[in-house]
Amino acid sequence: MTNPYARRLMSRLLVVAILTLGVAGLGALGSAACSTRVPTLEERAVALDRQLMCPICDGQTLDESQSQLAQQMKQVIREKLAQGETEDQIKAYFSSPDRYGPAVLAAPPASGFNLVLWALPPALTIVGLGGLFLLIRAMRVRSRPAGVRAGDLMLATYLEQVDRELGLAKGAPPPGSGPGLDPLAVPGAGEKRVEQRNG
């Protein structure tokens, strides 16, 4: 790897290989998503078991519960599926007010007031990530003119130079290339510096 040309070629080849792999992976993933097989009746029944609560057990789904009532409800689910009823029909059957009410659903449907339950987490995540982006950007902008004290800057430049020379002398990568390389932090920074010097 001493030849810089060969080195560059190698790294470019690697990048191309990764991109190819990535595109292939995404393509295959897409086709996999499209070609999901039809679930069996029992698989559909188990999926429903997991979406309905056992009305007499504290916080257990039909799938988890060992109670008699849960066994009977599971039986009803299987019969109804066999008769050709859809998942939604079965859920509506159990959650109707004259049966067990909406609390029998393990998660409320995303409609009406319950939409709040479902919409808040993604909204929060998107707004939060956006806020984080703005925050980091603001911290960077603010930092540029006055943030770094003159002494720090001099020290940092100096240390970077030292690292670079040491690094080059032993064939290590240039400074800033390895994780944990931190010319500014004094406590605890020794380990990585040693690593770098040895490298």
Partner 1 sequence: MADLGTMAVLLALVLSLYASAGSVAGHALRLPELAVSARRALYLTLPVTAAAVGALVAAFVSHDFSIEYVWRHSNLVMDPGYTWVALYAGNEGSLLYIALVLSLMSAVAVRTVPSRFAGSMPWTIALLGIMQAFYFFVMAFFASPFSTFDFLPGDGRGINPLLTHPGMFTHPPMLMSGLAGITVPFAFAAGALISGNYGDDWVDVARVSALVVWGILGVGLLLGAWWAYTILGWGGYWGWDPIENVAFMPWLVLTAFIHSIMVQKRRGMFRMWNVALLDIAFVLAQLGMFINRGGPVVSVHSFASSTLGLVFLSFMLLSLVFSFGLFIWRYPQLKSDRPLESFLSREASFLVNNFLLLAVAFVTLWGVVFPLFSDLAQGVEVSVAAPYFNRVNGPLLLAVVFMMGVGPLLPWRKSSGRSLQRWFVIPLATGLAVVAGLLIAGLREPLAVVAFGVIAFVAAAIVEEWYRGSAARRRTGEQWPVAWWRLVNGNRPRHGGYVVHLAILTLATGVVGTQFFDQRTDVVLRQGESVVLDNYRIEYVRRDTAERQDRIARWVDLNVYRTDPAEYEADANGWRVEGRRFDTRGGAYPGDHLLDTLQPWHGFYTQFNQVSVRAGIRSTPVEDLYIIPSDFLDDGRVLLRVSINPLAWWLWVAGPVFVLGTIVALWPQPSVERLTARAAVPQARAQAKA
Residues numbered 44 to 103 that lie near partner 1 (CB under 8 A) are 46, 50-51, 53, 57-61, 63-66, 71, 74, 101-103
CA distances from 93 to 66, 101, 110 (A): 22, 9, 18
Cα–Cα dist 30/24, whole Å: 10
Cα–Cα dist 62/53, whole Å: 5
**Cβ 112 to partner 1, closest distance in Å?**
8
Task: Enumerate residues 154-173 that contact partner 1 by CB under 8 A.
Answer: 170, 172-173
Query: In this structure, are residues 71 and 49 in contact, taking their beta carbons and an 8 Å threshold?
Result: no
Task: Enumerate residues 95-154 that contact partner 1 by CB under 8 A.
Answer: 101-108, 112-114, 116-118, 120-122, 124-125, 128-129, 132, 135-136, 139-140, 142-143, 147-148, 152
Q: Which residue among 9, 16, 22, 168 contacts partner 1 (CB under 8 A)?
A: 22
**Cβ 3 to partner 1, closest distance in Å?**
17
Interface with partner 1: number of residues (CB under 8 A): 86
Stretch that binds partner 1, among 24-32, 80-88, 161-169 (CB under 8 A): 24-32
**Cβ 74 to partner 1, closest distance in Å?**
7
Cα–Cα dist 19/41, whole Å: 40
- Count how many residues are written for the chain: 199
The two three-digit tokens of residue 44, written as one number = 């559909």
* Site track 1-20 with partner 1 (rule: CB under 8 A), x = hit: ----------x--xx-xx--
Residue type, 17: A
Q: Which residue among 9, 39, 96, 174 contacts partner 1 (CB under 8 A)?
A: 174
Q: Which residue among 86, 115, 134, 199 contacts partner 1 (CB under 8 A)?
A: 199
Residue 59 zone, left/alpha/beta (φ > 0; ψ -120 to 50; rest): left
Stretch that binds partner 1, among 84-92, 161-169, 190-198 (CB under 8 A): 190-198
Buried b (16+ CB within 10 A) or exposed e, 53-64: bbbeeeeebbbe
